[in-house]
Amino acid sequence: MKASPDQQQRLLDLQAIDTRLDQIEHARTHLPQLAELEDLRRNAEVVGAEHVRVRTAHDDVQRELRKSEADVQQVRDRAARDEARLASGTGTAKDLQALQHELESLARRQRELEDVELEVMERAEAIESDLSELEAGVERVATQIRELEASRDEALARLDAEAAEVAAPRTAVAAEVGTELVTLYDRIRTQSGGTGAAALRQRRCGGCQLELNAVDLGRIKAAAEDEVLRCEECRRILVRTPESGL
């Protein structure tokens, strides 16, 4: 393949553009915010699951507390009615004695139920505290995620703007290089992981970074200026420069 020295030099410019675009794309996919967001989202899932569990326990203990309060109130109401009947003196002595015994039984029952109510209240307070902490944690993680997403979006916007600026001249540069040479360059670039053309400087290939031997250097020195050369080691297009050391 033939290409003028100017075309070959412009190929290095094209490679510089593509290298920077690759670096920008790598930066896009390796933003520190992305790893932090992944960790935070995992944390949010854990906190969210615990929040659901404690919320369920909170609802259960609240129902238990309401039942306990209702049980105590029911005994109190019954005792109040019995005390009113006893105070009125209405009924036979046997009836009044039975009321007195029932009041004593109700008093014992009320104490038992109040102990149960107190135990449930203590559990409810503990769960309420846990729930408050978890709700604060959920909101804290959500805030951190929102802030990181905003930071990520800002970083991506900057990279996108830089990529657009870097890529702007690529079409014109590729046109100056020529379709045939660009096609070869693109194929090599795909095969070699991003570098399709490299400068020869100080007898060293800029692609594989290996120093050329005397035979290869002699071949390159004898080649016509418009001959497209390839590195014998990495097969990238090798572009001669004033610093080639030939």
Helix, strand, coil in percent for the chain, rounding step 5: 75, 5, 15
Q: What is the C-alpha R_g of the chain?
A: 42
Long-range contact list for 180-187, CB < 8 A, 24+ apart?
A: 180/1, 180/3, 181/1, 181/3, 181/7, 181/8, 181/11, 181/228, 181/237, 182/11, 182/14, 184/1, 184/228, 184/237, 185/11, 185/14, 185/15, 185/237
Q: For residue 140, what pLDDT is reported?
A: 95
Distance, in Å, from the CA atom of 175 to the CA atom of 57, rounded to the nearest integer, reads 69
Strand ranges of the sheet holding 229-230, from the earlier edge strand across to the other edge: 204-205, 197-201, 237-240, 229-230
**51 and 141 Cβ atoms separated by less than 8 Å:** no
Task: Please compute the mean of the pLDDT values over residues 7-29 and round it to a whole number.
Answer: 97
Q: What pLDDT band is residue 146 in, cutting at 50, 70 and 90?
A: very high
Is residue 59 predicted with pLDDT exceeding 90? yes
By the 10 Å C-beta count (0-12 exposed, 13-18 middle, 19+ buried), 19 is classed as middle
Q: Which residues of 83-106 are buried (b: 16+ CB within 10 A; e: fewer)?
A: eebbeeeeeeeeeeeebeebbeeb
* Band of residue 85 on the pLDDT scale cut at 50, 70, 90: confident
Contact 184, 1 (CB under 8 A): yes
The amino acid at residue 200 is L
Place of tokens 């014998």: 232
Mean pLDDT over residues 223-245, rounded?
93
Among 238, 246, 182, 187, CA closest to 208: 238
pLDDT score at 90: 78
Report the share of the chain in percent with pLDDT over 90.
89
Mean pLDDT of the residues in the chain = 94
pLDDT, tens only, 113-129: 999 999 999 999 999 99
Q: Please check whether residue 106 is in contact with residue 77, taking contact to mean a CB–CB distance below 8 angstroms.
A: no
The two tokens of residue 137 are 């944690």
Give the model's pLDDT for residue 87.
86
pLDDT at position 40? 96
Q: How far is CA 173 from CA 43, 153, 191, 203, in A?
A: 48, 31, 22, 26
What is the structure's pLDDT at 172?
A: 97
3 state SS of 81: helix
What is the third-level CATH fold of 31-167?
Helix Hairpins (1.10.287)
Q: pTM higher than 0.85 for the full model?
A: no
Domain map (residue ranges) of the chain: 5-23+178-240, 31-167
Q: What is the pLDDT of residues 149-159, one digit of tens each?
A: 999 999 999 99
Q: Over the stretch 150-202, which tens digit does the pLDDT of each residue have?
A: 999 999 999 999 999 999 999 999 999 999 999 999 999 999 989 999 999 99
